[in-house]
Amino acid sequence: MGGMTRRSAVAAGLALISWAVTALAAGPEVGKAVPALKVLDVTGQNSPNEVDYAELRKELPTVYVFVPADKWDRPTARFLRKLDEAVAKQDQASYVVAVWLTDDVEKTKKYLPLAQQSLQFGRAALACYTADKSGPREWQLDLAASLTIIVAAQGKIAEVRDYRSVNETLVPEVLEALKKAAGKAESGK
């Protein structure tokens, strides 16, 4: 390995992976206002209506999760379930809005209540973006990602993360971003 030890090579590799996750993040610009998010709320408090979650959640700490329907799998379901549990323990104001990106809205409208029944989310709404499989243009989503996470508080984007693969071990870093965003919101009042 030349002058590089195995340990430093692993550290360099991990740093590169961490950088790649951050560098690949598309999404709206951090620090900017949360763009409109008109979706069909299939299982949340506003079901079965079309709502603008950015408007409804305004100042409140929110984790927006964009799920390409064709990439939904068991590890993603476990991640979302653990995220829901963690957010429920954090505070009463925080919430998860999971938005399915699909080209078959009718099938998704039938599937999401089944997912809710199975996973028993308490602090998460399952919603469907009905206009276009690529999601709202203003959100600038990376459709190659398995999941895009956008953390917001006080009406501003606090963090954007795209994941190529996902599982429940990622929940602590998303929760930490939410805590940080909510803390900034509280200290900014």
3 state SS of 124: strand
3 state SS of 150: strand
Q: Is residue 74 part of a domain?
A: yes
Q: Supply the range of the domain harboring residue 123.
A: 6-187
- The Cα 173–Cα 72 span in angstroms is 20
96: CATH:
3.40.30.10
Residue pLDDT, tens place only, 126-177: 999 999 899 999 999 998 999 999 999 999 999 999 999 999 999 999 999 9
Q: Is residue 44 part of a domain?
A: yes
Gyration radius from the chain CA atoms: 17
Tell me the CA end-to-end span of the chain in Å, nearest whole number.
53
Q: Is residue 1 part of a domain?
A: no
Cβ neighbours, 10 Å, residue 2 = 5
Residue pLDDT, tens place only, 91-129: 889 999 999 999 999 999 999 999 999 999 999 999 999
Structural contact between residues 165 and 138, judged by C-beta atoms closer than 8 angstroms: no
**Domain count across the chain:** 1
Q: Is residue 37 part of a domain?
A: yes
Q: Is residue 69 part of a domain?
A: yes
